[in-house]
Structure 1
Amino acid sequence: MLRSIKFKNAYLLSLLTLSGLTQLSGCSHLNMPAAKETLAPEAVEMKSGFVNARLSTPVEEAPTYSSMDAQTMYQLMIAEMLITHGQFQDAFDLMIPIAQKRREPEITQRVFQLSMQTMNLLSMKQATTLLKEVEPDKAVTWQAAYLLSLQEGELEAAFKEWQRYVKLADAEMRAKSAIDEDSVTSKLSQQQTFESLVLDTANRVAQSSAAEYGLAFLKEIQKQYPQERVVGYALGAAALAYQDYSVALTSLWASEKSYQGVEDKTVIYEDIYTKLAQAYLGATSYEEGLNKLAGYAAQNPNIWRFQEQYARLEVKAERYESAVQRYSMIVEQFPQAYTSRLSLALLLMEQKQFPQADDLLNPLLNVPSFQSISLYYSGVSKKSQNQPEQALLFFKQIVEGEFYIEAQLQIAELEYPKIGLTKVLEQLETLNAEDPEDQLKLYRAKAIFYKAADNIPQAIQNYELALNIMPSNIDILFSQAALFYETADYQSYEDRLNRVLALKPNQVDALNALGYYFVEQNIHLDKAEDLLAKAVAIAPDAYYVLDSQGWLRYMQARYSEAEVLLEKAMALKTDEEVLMHLIKTKWQLSKFSEAQGLWDKYAPQFPENEDLQSLMRNLSKN
């Protein structure tokens, strides 16, 4: 029996049934995959400009070259033709000797653009060296130079080149704006220019350099320019991009402090708090983040980009009601906050408020960047409301993109009762799953359908194919383990659980399942003792873990201790297996009337459990 091996967690149970297809995307309604996060508006239009900068300069249309001999012109024409076919390295190899010989700014710039597209460090260095010789007074020359030096870990050279870049870029920007250097306006614009250059620097560094070099470089800028508030913010933002949340939090809080007392805090100050919330999310310090940012959240209800991130902290901390209220406030005040609208819909779906979720999802169906995800979750909502035909209409509108495979799996699940296993498998075979994650989802789906059709060997085989793609997938290891137990392949069952524990030593369900298995088989009780003690320490209020430990005490003939544990488990959840264990324990303690009272009170709730229904009769015989 599946329950006897203690997969009592509802999520783990769902992995082995058709309902497990809902989890194939690797997320619940409350946890969208990371890829979906890029849909957030702040990722598209950050006020600080700290996104969308490129290290590489795209290759523009071919310029009109100055007069040259026929042979050189022919070589350049061949190179331009190679560029149109995406053969950047071949084009570069043809063009670089010409640029080195002629030393003309036009060709040099073209070669430099091309080198960036080759992604070849040697080619980029050749082009940059030439650029420094031909156009030493251009800011872009030294921008490329410091970024390349950073990629090679040459921090001292990179900093000197960066300083030269800043000086030239500042002059170019002021010249372009035709600002009088002696005016007050000039002084203000110089400050703004420096801020812009530092933000651009941090963004490019985070995109192109290893964290070790990038953060050290930005810390050197901070050391050399301690009076510039923007540098701390830039360092924190780059650390966030590098996922170094400790440095991000330290730097962002220091930057926030530096802005205290400044009348015009600018949009950077607002973005500091948004990034602080993101850093707490990344560090999984949800409660700490909520507590430290609570004052700012209360004082600034209209800064919706920050409020979105704060609401995400509330979700992660399982403060769902607060999150619903906050997302509702955002959506009401800012209709364009599409991420908040989607998040609120998913929260309401989790709370089974499907009609309200549908009302929130409907407007997103007309927003191009949200169309696919809103179609998918509209389908999930209709399916959850037992409206399969409506659900199919939504799923079938998804014909490409990242939700296509998930939609097809949902369609297969809905059509399975009508068309059967063979037709469903034929449909799945038509899906072109090139991405490993999509391949894994398909194997897992096939395993679930084979399980539903009672073809356990094929289900096990498809789980094995999925594990070949992702050996560390804990859900699949659990699912396969349960099938091994069902087929009495106990060695393989034990092996899969041990693999889970090798990956996550504190995985409560694995600790409990393996510990209870030893108890049930009456083997390795010393190992069971260690496993279940660890599980109880991690999850002291998990009823099924307390039940397992209680049953271990029963097998050890420590009936009074077993009674305490099993009564606590029963108080947490009225479970049929816990009930049977507690009745047997009472009987061993000669508390016959208490055992009979438990049976009289709870056995009618489980009429299909034959073992429970006959329990008192069997105990009386003994």
Structure 2
Amino acid sequence: MRNRTLAPFLLVPMLVLIAFASNADQPPSHATPTESTAAPGSSAPAPAVAQSPTTLSPELIYAALVAEVALQRGDYDAAFEHFLRAAELAREPSLAERAVRSALNAKRSAAARQALDLWTDLEPDAPQAHQLAAFLALEAGDQEWALASLERVIELAGVPGQGYLQAAQILGRLPDPADRLRVMRRLVDALDAQEDADAQFALATLAAAANQDEVAIQLAERAAKLRPGWSDPQLFLVRLLVRREQIEQAHAMLDRYLGEAPADPELKLMKAQLHMDAEEPEQALAVFDELLKRDPERPDVLMAAAVLALEIGDLDKARRFLEALQRLEERPNDVAFLLGQVEEQSGNSDAALALYEQVRGQNRTSAQVRIASLYAKAGEIARARELLQQLRDQSPGQDVTFYLIEGELLRAQGLDQQALDVYDRALAEQPAHVDLLYARAMLAVGMDKVGMLERDLRRILVDHPDHVDALNALGYTLADRTDRLDAAQAFIERALQLRPDDPAILDSMGWVLYRKGQAEDAEDYLRKALEQGFDAEIAAHLGEVLWSLGRKDEAREVWGHALDEAPEHEYLLRVLSRFRFSHTDH
């Protein structure tokens, strides 16, 4: 049956036109309409806004409706023609703007400029019109028009000082960063803005983008001097030093700024960021604490502090920050999800479940996975698997992810055969999926199914010959579980070529050399691996190698340290039991 009402999208132009008609009886704001079509940003006097028509003519209604229909259908050429005609008839800036955007979508620059001329004629102080004019001018290579338009962008910026940064962003349209800087310099000179802090800072950002760091530093320092106490150029200078990997200098500069303005929250946040970048979470958290003493209801700081506290296991602080966010009614879904993790890590499973159930939005799936994990830990395996099946049904494009999660949950509960069944079922659907093959291979080695591991990893290497983890896992397993040591070494050597400083691969090379009777060479690789960071399995290997070399005291020292660091590490304990070594032996 034919609709008896206008489609919703057709109401848009109709409402606009009704507004024209309703304003028809209002007294004109200008004495006479103008026919001027001066280019955007020209120095001609600003034209008067034309008076709306007193009636809605059939031609006007037709043009507006056809334009809207064409726009909905993606026919941007027709939309431009009819929006332009409607704007000319109605003398309405919003229709001229729609004509401009339709022309841009149609990639008709000349048509867009024609509509822009009408738009700026009807609404001379429309900031977006001059921004679009600057984009078009840059695209056309017309620097004079671009400069005139950018001058108007700066003049019309709603927030004082933002115009120069808006101009710098628009200049990003130019492909050559050096050209962006040159045009911005011309603009600053034209506006005689050498003493304007915002202009100098905008120049600094473009100089940095052009990799002219020394120039950027000079300009940012000038901006900071022109406006004492302004933290934006100070933060910029610190970030620039970080980009140049001059971390000590960045810290020193930031400390100097903080000495001048110890309460500046943005500088404090930068200090926290530098600590996080340096993997110093406790120091970063201390900075967040200082900030929150001054401003205890700042949501962004509360959230950052909560995430960091949770990451380092300070659950009491994390809970306190998140409860503050709850009171402020800020980001309820994120807060519920993070509070659920706090309660889960605190051993409060029921509270964690209740919180995870509240989560909506982008964290909902992750919350549901956490619920499944809690069910599995509580021995409710069927319930956990049912929930993961529901997630697969709801998100068929992520089915592999949920198969992997299910397999890992089952492995964690010691249900290896059930986990293997999950991987088998998933691989029946996607037999060449790399992540599934790798997960099954890692499960297989724990089940002493070396043949399955080798088949799966070799299958990965058929399509991905440089898959480093597969090369290393296959090489290490062959070295550890078989006598095929030459083949094992070949795989490990290839992995080491691809990732020469990876401690796991260095450990594999040390282990295969030890198995081949080259204990002294093995020691070098194992020590280098341990230098990258402590790992109980690597320490177990190094101790065994040292023992074989007759350096038993050194072996005991290595094993003793490993026991202190990881007293429940399964592989380490198995090795030590073979050598009848315990804590009392060191």
* TM > 0.5 fold call: yes
Q: Over aligned residues, Cα RMSD in angstroms? A: 4.9
CA shift in 2, pair 1:418/1:573, >3 Å? closer
Is it true that 1:448 corresponds to 2:408 in the alignment?
yes
Q: Name the CA distance, whole Å, in 2 between partners of 1:592 and 1:200.
A: 69
Quote the residue 1:146 is aligned against: 134
Q: Name the CA distance, whole Å, in 2 between partners of 1:167 and 1:611.
A: 75
Unaligned runs of 5+ in 2: 1-11, 22-52, 581-586
Quote the residue 2:42 is aligned against: none
Of 402-411 and 575-584, more deviation after overlay is shown by 575-584
Unaligned runs of 5+ in 1: 1-57, 177-191, 618-622
Quote the residue 2:27 is aligned against: none
Is the contact made by 1:99 and 1:107 (CA closer than 8 Å) also made in structure 2? no
Percent identity of paired positions between Structure 1 and Structure 2: 17
Is it true that 1:99 corresponds to 2:81 in the alignment?
no
Question: Per-residue deviation at 1:205?
Answer: 5.1
Quote the residue 1:35 is aligned against: none
After superposition, residues 177-576 of structure 1 pair within 5 angstroms as: 195-204=161-170, 209=173, 212=175, 216-225=179-188, 227=194, 229-237=197-205, 247=211, 252-259=216-223, 261-262=225-226, 264-265=227-228, 269-277=230-238, 289-398=250-359, 400-418=360-378, 420-431=380-391, 441-449=401-409, 451-452=411-412, 453-454=415-416, 455-459=419-423, 462=426, 479=439, 482-483=442-443, 485-486=445-446, 487=449, 488-493=452-457, 496=460, 502=466, 513=473, 516-517=476-477, 519-520=479-480, 521-524=484-487, 525=489, 528-529=492-493, 531-532=495-496, 538=501, 542=503, 547-563=507-523, 575=536
Q: Name the CA distance, whole Å, in 2 between partners of 1:429 and 1:538.
A: 40
Q: Name the CA distance, whole Å, in 1 between partners of 2:524 and 2:156.
A: 79
Aligned counterpart in structure 2 of residue 72 of structure 1, from 59, 68, 76:
59
Amino acid at match of 2:183: E
Of 368-377 and 414-423, more deviation after overlay is shown by 414-423
Question: Per-residue deviation at 1:270?
Answer: 1.4
Q: Which has the higher contact order (CA 8 A, sep 6+)?
A: 1
Amino acid at match of 2:84: A
Q: Deviations over 1:133-192 (max 9, x none)?
A: 574593544432221343xx33x31x322332255567779xx9xxxxxxxxxxxxxxx9
Question: Per-residue deviation at 1:360?
Answer: 1.3
CA shift in 2, pair 1:220/1:495, >3 Å? farther
Is the contact made by 2:63 and 2:85 (CA closer than 8 Å) also made in structure 1? no
Q: Name the CA distance, whole Å, in 2 between partners of 1:285 and 1:466.
A: 48
Question: Per-residue deviation at 1:387?
Answer: 0.7
Q: Deviations over 1:549-601 (max 9, x none)?
A: 432332342233445665787898583674366446634x4678998999999
TM-score where L is the length of structure 2: 0.69
Question: Per-residue deviation at 1:233?
Answer: 2.3
Q: Name the CA distance, whole Å, in 2 between partners of 1:306 and 1:60.
A: 51
Question: Per-residue deviation at 1:129?
Answer: 1.3
Is the contact made by 2:526 and 2:542 (CA closer than 8 Å) also made in structure 1? yes
Quote the residue 1:130 is aligned against: 115
Q: Name the CA distance, whole Å, in 2 between partners of 1:289 and 1:499.
A: 45
Question: Per-residue deviation at 1:396?
Answer: 1.3
SS state at 2:115 partner: helix
Is the contact made by 2:539 and 2:558 (CA closer than 8 Å) also made in structure 1? no
TM-score where L is the length of structure 1: 0.66
Q: Name the CA distance, whole Å, in 1 between partners of 2:99 and 2:354.
A: 47
SS state at 2:361 partner: coil
Q: Deviations over 1:264-283 (max 9, x none)?
A: 447xx411233445566778
Is the contact made by 2:154 and 2:162 (CA closer than 8 Å) also made in structure 1? no
Question: Per-residue deviation at 1:416?
Answer: 2.6
Structure with higher Rg: it is 2
Q: Name the CA distance, whole Å, in 2 between partners of 1:278 and 1:450.
A: 45
CA shift in 2, pair 1:321/1:595, >3 Å? closer
Is the contact made by 1:312 and 1:323 (CA closer than 8 Å) also made in structure 2? yes
Amino acid at match of 2:145: E
CA shift in 2, pair 1:144/1:580, >3 Å? closer
CA shift in 2, pair 1:562/1:125, >3 Å? same
Q: Name the CA distance, whole Å, in 1 between partners of 2:155 and 2:559.
A: 87
Is the contact made by 2:544 and 2:555 (CA closer than 8 Å) also made in structure 1? yes
Is the contact made by 2:319 and 2:342 (CA closer than 8 Å) also made in structure 1? yes
Question: Per-residue deviation at 1:350?
Answer: 2.7
SS state at 1:538 partner: coil
Q: Name the CA distance, whole Å, in 1 between partners of 2:66 and 2:148.
A: 32
Is the contact made by 2:181 and 2:203 (CA closer than 8 Å) also made in structure 1? yes
CA shift in 2, pair 1:391/1:611, >3 Å? closer
Is the contact made by 2:337 and 2:363 (CA closer than 8 Å) also made in structure 1? yes
Is the contact made by 2:204 and 2:216 (CA closer than 8 Å) also made in structure 1? yes
Q: Name the CA distance, whole Å, in 2 between partners of 1:160 and 1:60.
A: 39
CA shift in 2, pair 1:338/1:477, >3 Å? farther
Q: Name the CA distance, whole Å, in 2 between partners of 1:600 and 1:135.
A: 79
Is the contact made by 2:306 and 2:317 (CA closer than 8 Å) also made in structure 1? yes
Q: Deviations over 1:230-272 (max 9, x none)?
A: 34422555799xxx5x74966652322223543x447xx4112
Q: Deviations over 1:92-114 (max 9, x none)?
A: 83573363487357245413236
Is the contact made by 1:379 and 1:390 (CA closer than 8 Å) also made in structure 2? yes
Amino acid at match of 2:88: R
Q: Name the CA distance, whole Å, in 2 between partners of 1:307 and 1:116.
A: 42
Quote the residue 1:160 is aligned against: 144
SS state at 1:302 partner: coil
SS state at 1:201 partner: helix
